[in-house]
Chain A
């Protein structure tokens, strides 16, 4: 995540010089009084719950001015009297957590020290005002006698990818940079409306960029931050790319690197090198503290080899440089092991290959910008020994099964080698992506408990009956885009499917065959959805298929998805997905979820989200009768294949 590598303007006692500057700015109006009026985005905000705290200022969370500031800056505060944490979710979003009685506060993953600990008096919590403003990417400035809450160019990340460099700017207000000066050797961007404490010059020396200089101009009320990029010969800038209101990406490429293509989010961040010379705010200590992982920036995983040894196999992870590692394994019967090499880059492409016993497979990849993950699937609960050395991490997997194995451990590799005691008690969730999509058709990673109402030996009393459920209808229109309603589309597709199935000799029952509610108009969702499940359950149907249309709050996502909930649904969902993969939009696969109708139907069931009405290309498909017919055809084919492959015991298959 780039935010862990942001060069943030430092603050707090960990950064004494910066703290001094802000404290000095704040001291002018606030400490002497218990109120402050400050201009924020042309609006005058009056803070009345301010208190002096030594040389600092505390602000009460019930301050009406504070509430206005939070609202205007898109932040939300969560706290109740008696609770320990005062949590501010900013517009980024990032969670800033203050803790009553503790000077430490966290901004996302970064822990900092406030100048004093937040405290509660009466039913109100008081927070260090400087740190709150900093978290909101604001600085208090003085314009003559007027106090101004000045939005800041709060961070500028440098991301380095070979021939390309991207600078990611984040502002405390919307930022729209424009080029104010450009030559063959330099380009200057002006960020109107934000000031900055990041002033200084930092060498880059990559991606066609020699150095970056940040300076402030404009006035206190109309600040501008100037970012001048000195180019190397052949270096070329791309047009600024606005990722959202407050974030902009400036891309550059070196000679021979081709046009500076936008740098996508998953690339390796390079912490900003320390500034050269002034300003005073940037002490070496502050600069070092602002660069997590800098000491490991050059560490690479140069290769992974698997070798047969006497009583098993040895997986050798070759590492150049210093890194820490952490390994975990899951409990039998899920015999997976993984080790994360932290602060390291993978050299070369990811690896994914099958391996002989005691392994099943091995996967090596860059898991996040600073972590390389080596994941092993084991053929059983094998013994594992992890041994770091100066230039490698050895993972020895034994042929024999063992009981009560340690589940996690950690250490470091490189010039300082350390191994911790494995910690058998520490419980760790499965690695995120390992858990989400089953690795094989047997769906071993989907866990099915006794949550649904399905019976393991469900035998349909009417094995020739398919129940089709057109999603929504009547008082519930489902999703609506461009005047097109989900309730109408689902009924249309359901009717098309019914006609095909009937022509093939099936009996079909529709939960609704008109634009109506199944239970009653304006019934609650539970009654409505249970009524749909009841149609299938009461009829003893062979299969239940609910047809829907997807949507999201933005136009990005598209594709077809089959949702299932019960173990009995898996095969049906898989076969549906296989047929629907040819429908012309993206195949998003089968997703297990806790959906009501698939949970509460006793027979194999699936809910198909055919496509996204919120996506323009999917919208075009959904509004095409020919496409809806095609989808109906594919669903009918899937039902045919499923019932042939999984015949009902003692009853003829269709």
Chain B
């Protein structure tokens, strides 16, 4: 009898994952080969009382962007944003999220490696939020065509299919 109850509980829990409570977000990061993605899982919270769908999406995108810029704990080897890079804010327009980064992101080492890996992780993570398919990056509120001395085109929204 106890087994049946436990089984029913497990069933309920498992069958309701991803449908609301208990949903998770994968935070992607690029491994040090410069191309392969690793991920870690963090939980997403359901909408709160009084939180509109648009607010919930905004808040979730912000959460995802901050997680992506933080990256995994430092004992995990990953391509990382330059130290000090922060998410200043996000906005959502349709299925495109704009992520505003602080100027520290411009402190690149100079190669394609860092740029490519950082933005790949960010775009994969933020487009993991249901309803978001593209990410427009801005720096201190400005849309840049590329980072100074950079290689990656940033003046249009990035999508997973760009990688």
Which A residues have a C-beta under 8 Å from some C-beta of B?
1-3, 76, 78, 80, 83-85, 87, 89, 92-95, 97, 99, 101-102, 104, 106, 108-109, 111, 168, 243-244, 247, 265, 324, 408, 410-412, 415-421, 423, 426-427, 429, 432-433, 435-437, 447-449, 451, 472, 476, 478-480, 486, 524-526, 529, 548-553, 556-557, 561, 563, 565, 588-589, 591-597, 599-600, 607, 609, 612-614
Are A106's CB and B128's CB within 8 A? no
Distance in angstroms between the alpha carbons of A150 and B146 in the assembled complex: 44
Distance (whole angstroms) from the CB of B101 to the closest CB of chain A: 12
Q: Which residues of B contact A109 (CB under 8 A)?
A: 40-43
Give the docked Cα–Cα distance between A94 and B72 (Å): 7
Among candidates A244, A417, A591, residue contacting B74 with C-beta atoms closer than 8 Å: A244
| Nearest-CB residue, chain B, relative to A563 | B112
- Provide a sorted-by-A list of 24 A–B residue pairs whose CB atoms are within 8 angstroms: A80-B89, A85-B62, A89-B86, A94-B73, A95-B67, A109-B41, A412-B10, A415-B3, A418-B7, A426-B19, A427-B130, A429-B128, A432-B37, A480-B110, A525-B147, A526-B146, A548-B151, A552-B79, A553-B114, A556-B32, A557-B32, A592-B162, A592-B163, A596-B145
Report how many A-B pairs have Cβ atoms within 8 Å: 235
Cβ of B17 to closest chain A Cβ, rounded Å: 7
User: In the assembled complex, how far is the CB of residue A433 from the closest CB belonging to chain B, in whole angstroms?
Assistant: 5
Residues of A within 8 A of B79 (CB): 552
| Chain B: minimal CB distance from A489 (Å) | 12
Chain B residues 28-81 with CB under 8 Å of chain A are 28, 32-43, 45, 48, 51, 55, 58-59, 62-63, 66-67, 69-77, 79-80
Which residues from B are CB-within-8-Å of A421?
A: 15
Closest to B11 in A: A418
The complex places the Cα of A138 from the Cα of B149 at a distance, in Å, of 41
> Contacts A95-B67, A449-B161 hold; do A596 and B11 have CB atoms under 8 A apart?
no
Q: How far is the CB of B80 from chain A (nearest CB, A)?
A: 7
Contacts of A552 in B (CB 8 A): 79, 109, 111, 113-114
- CB pair B145 A525 closer than 8 Å: yes
- In the assembled complex, which residues on chain A have CB atoms less than 8 Å from the CB atom of B151? 529, 548, 563, 595-597, 607
B45 touches A102 (CB 8 A): yes
Query: Do B112 and A599 touch (CB < 8 A)?
Result: no
Complex Cα distance, B37 from A447, in Å, reads: 16
Interface positions of B from 134 to 163, Cβ below 8 Å from A: 144-153, 155, 158-163
Q: Are B152 and A92 in contact (CB under 8 A)?
A: no
* Interchain CB contact under 8 A, B43 and A106: yes
Q: What are the 8 closest A-B residue pairs judged by CB atoms, nearest first?
A: A479-B110, A526-B145, A550-B111, A420-B15, A432-B37, A447-B161, A594-B162, A525-B146
In the complex, A80→B14 CA distance in Å?
A: 35
Q: Flag whether B26 is at the interface (Cβ < 8 A).
A: yes
Query: Residue B1 at the A interface, CB < 8 A?
Result: no
B155 close to A526 (CB less than 8 A): yes
Which residue of A has the minimal Cβ distance to B84?
A76
| A598 CB → nearest B CB, Å | 9
Determine the chain B residues whose CB is within 8 A of the CB of A85 once the complex forms: 59, 62-63
Q: How far is the CA of A601 from the CA of B14 in the complex (A)?
A: 49
Question: Could you say which of B42, B109, B161 contacts A108, with CB atoms under 8 Å apart?
Answer: B42
Q: Is the CB of B112 within 8 A of A93?
A: no
Given A550-B113, A561-B113, A563-B116, A437:B75 Cβ within 8 A: no
CB A327 to nearest CB in B, in angstroms, measures 12
In the assembled complex, which residues on chain B have CB atoms less than 8 Å from the CB atom of A415? 3
A599 with B89: CB separation less than 8 A: no
- Interface of A, secondary structure class, is mixed
Q: How far is the CA of A449 from the CA of B161 in the complex (A)?
A: 7
Closest-CB distance, A592 to chain B (whole angstroms): 6
A323 to B150, CA, bound (A): 46
A523 to B41, CA, bound (A): 42
Inter-chain CA distance A486–B35, complex, in Å, is 23
| Chain B neighbourhood of A596, CB < 8 A | 145-146, 151-153
Chain B residue contacts of A102, Cβ below 8 A: 45, 48
Decide: A408 and B18 in contact? CB cutoff 8 A.
yes
Contact of A594 among B3, B51, B83, B153 (CB under 8 A): B153
**Contact partners of B62 in chain A: CB under 8 A:** 78, 83, 85, 87
For A111, the chain B residues whose CB sits under 8 A away are 43
For residue B87, CB closer than 8 A to chain A, the reply is yes
Contacts of A87 in B (CB 8 A): 62-63, 66
Q: Are B110 and A593 in contact (CB under 8 A)?
A: no
Check A549 against B145 for contact (C-beta < 8 Å): no
Q: Are A3 and B73 in contact (CB under 8 A)?
A: yes
Alpha-carbon gap, A108 to B63, bound state (A): 11
B39 CB to closest chain A CB (Å) equals 5
Please, how many angstroms separate the alpha-carbon atoms of A596 and B162 in the complex?
12
Q: How far is the CB of A287 from chain B (nearest CB, A)?
A: 22
B110, A478: Cβ atoms closer than 8 Å:
yes
Q: A525 contacts which chain B residues (CB < 8 A)? A: 144-150
Name the A residues within 8 Å of B66 (CB-CB).
Answer: 78, 87, 89, 95
Judging by beta carbons under 8 Å apart, are B18 and A426 in contact?
Answer: yes
Bound CA span A565–B151, Å:
12
Known: A432-B37, A588-B34; 13 extra A-B contacts, CB below 8 A, are A1-B40, A78-B86, A411-B11, A418-B10, A429-B127, A429-B160, A433-B38, A451-B162, A478-B110, A526-B146, A591-B35, A593-B112, A594-B158
Contacts of B67 in A (CB 8 A): 95
Does B18 contact A432, Cβ atoms closer than 8 Å? no
Q: Contacts A104-B45, A426-B18, A429-B128 hold; do A92 and B74 have CB atoms under 8 A apart?
A: yes
Known: A87-B66, A550-B111. A420 touches B149 (CB 8 A): no
CB distance from B18 to the nearest CB of A (A): 5
Q: Which residues of chain B come closer than 8 Å to A408, judged between CB atoms?
A: 18
Rounded to whole Å, the gap between the CB of B96 and the closest CB of chain A is 14
Tell me whether B152 and A594 are in contact (CB under 8 A).
yes
B56 to chain A, nearest CB (A): 8
B111/A609 in contact, CB under 8 A: yes
Known contacts A87-B66, A92-B73; A436/B37 CB under 8 A: yes
Across the interface, do B36 and A433 meet the contact criterion of CB distance under 8 Å? yes
Q: Which residues 112-133 of B sit at the A interface, judged by CB distance below 8 A? A: 112-114, 116, 119-120, 124, 127-128, 130
Known: A550-B113, A595-B112. A416 touches B6 (CB 8 A): yes
Q: Chain A residues near B76 (CB, 8 Å)?
A: 1, 265
Checking A92, A101, A410, A448 against B14 with a beta-carbon cut-off of 8 angstroms, the contacting residue is A410
Given B45, B110, B160, which contacts A551 in the complex, CB threshold below 8 Å?
B110
- CB-CB < 8 A to A557: which residues of B? 32, 34, 113
